[in-house]
């Protein structure tokens, strides 16, 4: 029986960063390395498992109870965010955390500080896994992958453990919004499922942002600055003007809870041409549509000012709020709440200020709330995860299986 910590450390050692600019599925060749590993490990545990041409690992464990019970799925994604490197991860293991600063030894002067991240004090006395400051950790979502595999290992090693049909899914490219675009829900064969992709212990989510991406291309006109009057169109300055048209109070750093935002995520450009990329988020569908309308109106305004075709917008919906799909099956949320309580975890139901594969799966007909994986400070060099949170998540999976079997 491999310990969950050892399993997790094996998984984060595999670089699986996804790439939004790629058109392939998965978006990066290196994701196949962990996908193949997981398929092989499921088979070694005597689980029927497949890996298809789109990078989806699907495992199936038949029921060992006589009565008919729903098939329950557990899903996690293998890719890590493009925001920070996932190569050559060097985890630090902090045993019996004392509540002080944690130096990230790969970068002199960089540390996890309770003064900046007070939630660290929730885990005094526990074992923390951090980065060394040079990469992200990959707990999003390799903690979820490890928790599912740990639960599967227990189930297959204990034939006396009663369960209905269980389905296991591992997906690529969640971090770039394409995680389940080609996921075959019918072939997966689950009636209900859970993504193990939440944050801090206790998190339970069945509503998330509506999400879109907006790419803005600005075509300027570059002439010698000595003779530029009345001729030059500086694409960088037009881009700054565009950004200034959006409401300041609707930026991520000024919002919380159910408040949506416009988030400028990248910029590159010269006087001749520039590109700005945004993500648009809101839990409320009407407000979400209003945000998309506003960004289009800003483009129209600048084209009227500087000439048609100066600013070009490509707007793409990414996912929608799963609440409308999950709420009619609210008992799946209640099962998760009870499973957490059985594991000694206090459930914290809250909206996701982000998205998961579960959102798109719910709209594909598979109601799929999201359960904590345990990690914090995702997508950056300050990411960490408490070992005890991962252990609790694995117990929650087993408890959910038990509750449905009953």
Q: Give residue 355's pLDDT.
A: 77
Q: What is the mean pLDDT of each run of 10 residues along the chain (406 residues)?
A: 96 97 96 98 98 98 96 98 96 98 97 98 98 98 98 98 98 93 97 96 95 96 96 97 98 95 96 97 96 98 97 94 94 98 96 86 95 96 98 98 96
Q: Is 341 a catalytic residue?
A: no
Do 151 and 286 lie in a common domain? no
**Number of alpha carbons in the 13 Å side-chain half-sphere of residue 373:** 33
**% pLDDT > 70, the chain:** 100
Sign of the C-alpha dihedral computed for residues 168, 173, 175 and 178 taken in this order: negative
Q: Of 276, 275, 277, 284, whose CA–CA distance to 255 is shortest?
A: 284
* Boundary-marking domain end, from 271, 290, 319: 319
Is 79 annotated as catalytic?
Answer: yes
Domain extent for 246: 210-319
Residues 6+ apart with CB under 8 A from 109: none
Domain of 309: which CATH number? 3.30.70.360
Long-range contacts of the stretch 260-266 (C-beta < 8 A, 24+) = 260/209, 260/284, 260/287, 260/288, 260/291, 262/291, 262/295
Please say whether the beta carbons of 387 and 5 come within 8 A. yes
Q: Per-residue b/e over 96-127, b at no fewer than 16 CB within 10 Å? A: ebeeeebbbeeeeebbbeeeeeeebeebeeeb
Domain boundary pick from 319, 336, 362: 319
How many structural domains is the chain composed of?
2
pLDDT for the residue numbered 318:
87
From residue 61, give the alpha-carbon distance in Å to each of 234, 398, 401. Answer: 60, 13, 12
Q: 186 with 234, same domain?
A: no
**Residue from 209, 200, 198 nearest 333 by CA:** 198
What pTM was computed for the model? 0.87
Q: 256, exposed or middle or buried, with CB in 10 Å at 0-12, 13-18, 19+?
A: exposed
pLDDT number for residue 204: 96
- The residue from 274, 289, 319 where one domain ends is 319
Select which of 79, 175, 282, 383 is catalytic: 79
From the list 147, 174, 205, 383, the catalytic residue is 174
Taking CA atoms, 217 is separated from 173, 201, 313, in Å, by 25, 41, 7
Does one domain contain both 184 and 79?
Answer: yes
Is residue 190 within 8 Å of residue 71, measured between CB atoms?
Answer: yes
Same domain? For 237 and 282 the reply is yes
Separation between Cα atoms, residue 156 and residue 151, nearest integer Å: 9
Looking at every residue in the chain, the average pLDDT score rounds to 96
Taking the C-alpha atoms of residue 137 and residue 21, their distance in angstroms, rounded to an integer, is 22
Phi first, then psi: give them for residue 298, nearest 5 degrees: -65, -40
76 close to 57: Cβ distance less than 8 angstroms: no
């Amino acid at each position: 029986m491999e310990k969950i910590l050892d399993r997790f450390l094996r998984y984060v050692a595999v670089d699986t960063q996804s790439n939004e600019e790629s058109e392939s599925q998965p978006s990066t060749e290196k994701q196949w390395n962990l996908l193949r590993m997981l398929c092989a490990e499921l088979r070694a545990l005597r689980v029927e498992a497949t890996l298809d041409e789109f990078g989806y690992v699907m495992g199936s464990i038949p029921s060992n109870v006589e009565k008919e019970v729903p098939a329950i799925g557990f899903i996690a994604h293998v890719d890590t965010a493009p925001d920070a490197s996932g190569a050559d991860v060097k985890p630090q293991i902090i045993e019996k955390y004392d509540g002080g600063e944690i130096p990230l030894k790969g970068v002199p002067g960089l540390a996890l500080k309770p003064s900046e991240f007070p939630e660290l004090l929730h885990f005094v006395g526990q074992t923390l896994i951090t980065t060394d400051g040079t990469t992200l950790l990959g707990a999003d979502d390799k903690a979820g992958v490890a928790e599912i595999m740990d639960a599967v290992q227990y189930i297959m090693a204990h034939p006396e453990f009663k369960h209905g049909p269980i389905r296991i899914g591992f997906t690529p490219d969640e971090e770039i919004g394409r995680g389940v675009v080609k996921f075959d829900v019918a072939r997966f064969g689950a009636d209900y499922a859970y993504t193990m992709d939440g944050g801090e212990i206790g998190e339970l989510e069945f509503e998330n942002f509506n999400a879109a991406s907006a790419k803005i291309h600005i075509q300027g006109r570059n002439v010698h600055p000595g003779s530029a009057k009345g001729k030059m169109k500086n694409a960088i300055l037009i881009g700054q003007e565009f950004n200034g048209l959006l409401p300041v109070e609707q930026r991520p750093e000024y919002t919380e809870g159910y408040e949506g935002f416009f988030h400028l995520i990248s910029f590159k450009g010269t006087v001749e041409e520039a590109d700005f990329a945004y993500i648009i988020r809101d839990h409320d569908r009407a407000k979400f549509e209003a945000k998309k309308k506003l960004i289009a109106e800003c483009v129209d305004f600048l084209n009227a000012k500087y000439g048609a075709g100066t600013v070009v917008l490509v707007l793409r919906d990414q996912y929608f709020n799963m609440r409308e799909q999950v709420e009619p099956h609210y008992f799946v949320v209640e099962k998760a709440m009870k499973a957490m309580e059985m594991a000694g975890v206090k459930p914290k139901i809250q909206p996701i200020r982000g998205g998961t594969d579960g959102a798109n799966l719910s709209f594909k007909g598979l109601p799929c709330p999201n359960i904590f994986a345990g990690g914090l400070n995702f997508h950056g060099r300050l990411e960490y995860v408490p070992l005890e949170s991962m252990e609790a998540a694995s117990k929650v999976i087993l408890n959910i299986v038990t509750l449905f079997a009953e």
